[in-house]
Amino acid sequence: MTVREIVVVPDQVLRKKAKTVTKFDEKLQTLIDDMVETMRQAPGVGLAAPQVGVLERVIVVEYYETEADEESEEDEKAPKKLYTIVNPEITRRSADVEDGTEGCLSVPGFQGEVERHIAITVKAQTRYGQPVTLKLKDWTARIFQHEIDHLSGVLFTDLASRIWKPDGPIEDTV
Residues forming the active site: 147
> Which whole-number Å values give the CA distances from 1 to 21, 26, 39, 42, in the listed order?
20, 13, 12, 14
Contact predicate 32/52, CB 8 Å: no
Adjacent-strand bridge partners of 81: 63
Q: Which amino acid is at 47?
A: L
| Phi and psi, residue 30, nearest 5° | -65, -45
DSSP state of 24: -
